[in-house]
Amino acid sequence: MASRLGSQLIGFAALPVLSRMLSPAAYGVVAVAGVFTGFLGLYSELGVGAALVRRPELRRDIIATAFYINLLMGCVLFAILAALAFPLAAAYRQPDLRIVLFVVGAQMAISVTLVPTALLERSFRFRTLAIVDVAAALTAEGVTIAMAASGFGTVSLVAGPAIAAAVQGPVLWAIVRLVPSGRPSREAFNEIWGFSRPMVWISTLWYWSRNIDNLVLGLVGGAVALGLYARAYMLMLVPVTQVTMVLTRVLLPALSRHAGDRAAMRATYLRALRLSSVITIPSGVGLACLASPLTAVMFGHQWRGAALPTVILASTLPQQVVVVSTGPIYLALGETTMWRRRTTPTYLAMMACLVAGAFFGATGVAVAFAVVSYGFSYYAASQPWGLLAISVREVVRMLSGPLAAAMIMAAVLVGLRFIFTGLAPGVWLASGVTLGALVYLMVLMVLDPEVVDQLRSELRHRPTRTAGAVS
């Protein structure tokens, strides 16, 4: 949590500076590039990280095979992006798109962090990962600001992360003190691929369900409309990634430890979901209430068109975290094929609705995203919960306290906004965040004191380090 919060705060600190140095069109170009680079980036891992984390033991040939898969795919993806750079720049009429694709492709080729990251996660060395991640975020944002100030323009947004990745890889390998000296083997590849193959399909559908909006909106609405939607989507993703990155990274090794004990897995999952809801539900509600002053303060008045899409997207935050949390259940149980079959209809429906919404601008895409997100919630979550004998009624009852407290917080914020209509955006944002947090915590302590006590207990708890076996 500290790692994610630190990285997000660094990003937030840089946003007001960069948003005033660079135009919405620059962010739109990077968003277009992100559609393709993000999709190809899925294949740099091929689900190998999860395969390493969930294995009870790791052989030397497994580690070596995973390393070479990561390295080879990075080089292949760089070659693909280099080949696509000129045609895509011509298709979108954006010359800067060429250099952006080259830089991101180079980042993929030099980023070989998959294996050391998986080894640190399976041994629960998240403190070490936190330090490295925050240092990388500082490096990336520092380089980005320096290059933007020097007049590099759009390329600044991708050069910083690329330089940070070049440093992060050697640091992680030095920390794990392991050289992939073993020889890759066909047996090891078949073991990894047998687990990971369904995940490649899942990741592909998931990615396009979350990015086809950028692709179509960029073609239909242009770079400015896409830039506004991308900023709104980014604001929604801040609290989502803040929690889901933590939840999925920690839940997989935690659930894998109890893979033979469904009761223990059930207790672990429910506890994690309940505690995460204490953060995600008020974050989504609060972001929806304060979207207008937040966009004005963070980006400036030229970005005011992002406020309404932010409100709509923020309303989906609690649902997203609940659904994303089901992935580690499938992975820990090795049910990746079942996961693929269950999620395919959801992602296909999401893509169809987003394409239709793109013709109504950024707001239309946001509405389509919200409708499909809530429309398929039960379908997406009921099966993995059934594997652990978890009922929907039980989850709703468990989340009712944070949800009620967040609704009361929203009523207070909306009421005060109608009373104090003349407040400057910065003053209202600071006041709203402070007051909203206080109201939420006080109401939660009355409605659900048990979850508050559990959160305090977890924050005081220091888990012991457990190393994964390597044979």
pLDDT, tens digit, for every residue of 218-270?
A: 777 666 677 777 777 777 776 666 677 777 778 888 888 887 788 999 999 99
57 beta partners: 469
**pLDDT at site 412:** 93
**pLDDT at site 347:** 87
Give the list of residues 6+ apart from residue 428 with CB closer than 8 angstroms, or none: 290, 293, 417, 420
**pLDDT at site 461:** 62
**pLDDT at site 441:** 92
469 beta partners: 57
8 A C-beta contact, residue 395 and residue 267 = no
**pLDDT at site 469:** 45
**pLDDT at site 12:** 78
8 A C-beta contact, residue 2 and residue 200 = no
**pLDDT at site 132:** 92
Expressed in angstroms, the distance from the first to the final Cα of the chain is 31
Per the structure block, which two tokens stand in for 427?
């003053």
Per-residue 3-state assignment (H helix, E strand, C coil) for 139-177: HHHHHHHHHHHCCCHHHHHHHHHHHHHHHHHHHHHHHHC
**pLDDT at site 435:** 93
**How far apart, in whole angstroms, are the C-alpha atoms of residue 230 and residue 213?**
10
**pLDDT at site 390:** 92
**pLDDT at site 464:** 47
**pLDDT at site 471:** 45
Question: For the chain (length 471 residues), average pLDDT per consecutive 10?
Answer: 79 82 82 80 78 81 87 91 90 86 89 88 87 90 89 87 88 84 82 81 80 76 73 73 73 83 90 86 89 82 79 85 86 86 88 86 86 88 91 89 93 86 83 92 90 77 49 45
pTM of the model: 0.72
**How far apart, in whole angstroms, are the C-alpha atoms of residue 140 and residue 146?**
10
**pLDDT at site 234:** 75
**pLDDT at site 13:** 84
**pLDDT at site 238:** 67
8 A C-beta contact, residue 23 and residue 91 = no
